[in-house]
Amino acid sequence: MRFEIRPYIGALPIIFGMSRQDVHHLLGLPESSVSIWDRSGVCEHYAQARYNVGYDNSGVVNHVGFLPGGAELSIQGIPLWTMEDQPDPNATLLALDPKPMECVGIWYFLELGVASTGYHDDDLYERAVTAFPRGTRAQMLPGAMPADTSKYLAR
What are the structural domain ranges in the chain? 2-140
Quickly state the pLDDT bin for 151 (edges 50, 70, 90): very high
pLDDT band at 155; cut points 50, 70, 90 = low
Of the pLDDT bands very low, low, confident and very high (cuts 50, 70, 90), residue 48 is: confident
Give the chain as a 3 state SS string: CEEEEECCCEEECEECCCEHHHHHHHHCCCCEEEECCCCCEEEEEECCCCEEEEEECCCEEEEEEECCCCCEEEECCEEEECCCCCCCCHHHHHHHCCCCEEECCEEEECCCCEEEECCCCCCHHHCEEEECCCCCHHHCCCCCEECCCHHHHCC
pTM of the shown model: 0.93
Q: What local confidence, expressed as pLDDT, does residue 12 receive? A: 98
pLDDT score recorded for residue 86: 95
pLDDT score at 102: 95
pLDDT digits 0-9 by tens, 33-44: 999 988 889 999
Q: Write down the pLDDT at residue 141.
A: 82
